[in-house]
Structure 1
Amino acid sequence: MKSGMQQNVLNEKNVQIMCDSPFIIKLYETYNGTQSLYFLLEPALGGLFGKEGHAKFYVAGVVNAFEHLHGKKIIFRDLKPENLLLTELGHIKLTDMGLAKVVVGKTYTTCGTPDYFAPEMIASAGHTMAVDWRSECVLSFELMAGHPPFESAHPMQIYQKVNKGITKVNFPNKMKGVVEDLVKNLCKKEPADRLPMRKGGAGNVRKHAWFNTFEWEKYDNGNMPSPYKPQVRGA
């Protein structure tokens, strides 16, 4: 209340309650206390774990989560590893709708994590759901390489690297080939040129060569075994 954030909390609740996807943390109920507001959320007790097979499994979950959100005109705007949780079975869940927003057309608020900013957000030129797919590019790179592509100690240096573009980034040897092609196609400077923003939508990612042997139907139904099952000590 002191910082005038009441509407932000209501917006987070309203967006979260709109979501009904196995790839997004569920909001079951909200409560009022004397000093606090409470969200009763679905528990996800695992943690991320990395290798190419794991990265592919997690990136696919984000594709499905974004497809669900964008179908409801919701832009997420805060993708990063910290906002991805694993269930005790190792299935991925997107969480934290604090910056998510229902948008028809463009919105102009600059928000999120600098490493994951899109050029249009830095320029305050207005952004659409294309910023989410741009952040998917950064996530894919980070899960594979162990660090984001535009990292720097200072935000202004990050912004300079973002504006120079993904073609100026050195890809590690393990990312050469099809995964490099996917990242570069998600990371196009022009929002309309990003792979899922072209005709075919998110299906363009599903059909990409990196997912050539990936069984999407099994994955979508929750029947694909996860490549990593967390060791959960207890509920």
Structure 2
Amino acid sequence: MYIVALKVIFKEQIEKYRLHHQLRREMEIQTSLRHPNALRLYSWFHDDERIYMILEYAHRGELYRELRKTGHRTEKQAATYIASLAQALAYCHEKDVIHRDIKPENLLLDHEGRLKIAGFGWSVQSKSKRHTMCGTLDYLAPEMVENKAHDYVVDNWTLGILCYEFLYGVPPFEAESQTDTFRRTVKVDLSFPSTPQVFAEAKNLISRLLVKDSSKRLFLQKIMKLPWIIKNADPMDKCSKLDL
């Protein structure tokens, strides 16, 4: 027996919000990806009212749910997730795919605790710079906030945001209002709380990803060679239920 997931989309909603092009692009991109940390889209079909996407089944669901339940991760858990994400995003970037909406709600866990990138609705396949502001407030790179052209390194920025959130339980630039979040993002108003205690190597990784000048952000391929990743990440790419 082979278990899959069905994502159901109502055609009425696609018509109402004019999502035809975006949905087609999402399906084309996700169908083309073959990486252990990218959720597979196997196929799709439709009837008069709905479109059905046949997806790989991620038994444990959204990482967001587990983060909200238990707060921050241990350094071993965080390093394992960051290593998985770095490898998957590097693969996507090699295929000229920019995800543009990496966040805990779009990260799923399979039955072994292996992380899977999902939520390709804002993804684009392009070699050129893009201009559409898209994504989620706390995870937007400065160039998006300032309505400047952007490329694949917006995903590198988001990886830094997630590393911070995994270790401290909240995104680094979270604020009372959208305006304040934007202001802190553009200034890269980054600080590290005294608790929980986090090793300097992890803080260094975050600081090298959360750089306003996008050309100076740490390359994803270099992340796997960092001592913090080598020392803490599970080589089997898994976080068991007991770890959480």
TM-score (norm 2): 0.85
Question: Is residue 6 of structure 1 aligned with residue 28 of structure 2?
Answer: no
Give the equivalent residue in structure 2 for 1:208.
Answer: 226
**C-alpha separation between the residues in 1 aligned to 2:133 and 2:155?**
13
Alpha-carbon deviations, 1:181-211, whole Å to 9, x = none? 0000011110010011xxxxx2211112211
Q: CA deviation at 1:155?
A: 1.3
1:43 to 57, 60, 73: 57
Q: CA deviation at 1:171?
A: 3.5
Superposed counterparts of 1:70-89, under 5 Å = 70-89=93-112
Select between 142-151 and 38-47 the one with higher mean Cα deviation: 38-47
Identity %: 29
Determine helix, strand or coil for the equivalent of 2:29: helix
Q: Residue type matched to 1:203 in 2?
A: Q
1:172 and 1:83, CA in 2 relative to 1: closer, same or farther beyond 3 A? farther
Q: Residue type matched to 1:226 in 2?
A: K
Question: Is residue 110 of structure 1 aligned with residue 133 of structure 2?
Answer: yes
**C-alpha separation between the residues in 2 aligned to 1:95 and 1:182?**
24
Question: Is residue 226 of structure 1 aligned with residue 238 of structure 2?
Answer: yes
Superposed counterparts of 1:164-179, under 5 Å = 164-166=187-189, 168-173=190-195, 174-179=197-202
Q: CA deviation at 1:54?
A: 0.9
Give the equivalent residue in structure 2 for 1:29.
Answer: 43
Partners of 1:150 and 1:169 within 8 A in 2: no
1:184 and 1:215, CA in 2 relative to 1: closer, same or farther beyond 3 A? closer
Give the equivalent residue in structure 2 for 1:56.
Answer: 79
Q: Residue type matched to 2:58 in 1?
A: A
Partners of 1:45 and 1:87 within 8 A in 2: yes
| Structure with the higher fraction of residues in strand conformation | 2
Q: Residue type matched to 1:46 in 2?
A: R
Aligned-residue RMSD, C-alpha: 1.8
Q: Mind listing any 5+ residue stretches in structure 2 that lack a counterpart?
A: 1-14, 67-72
* Runs ≥4 residues deviating over 3 A: 170-173
Q: Residue type matched to 2:25 in 1?
A: N
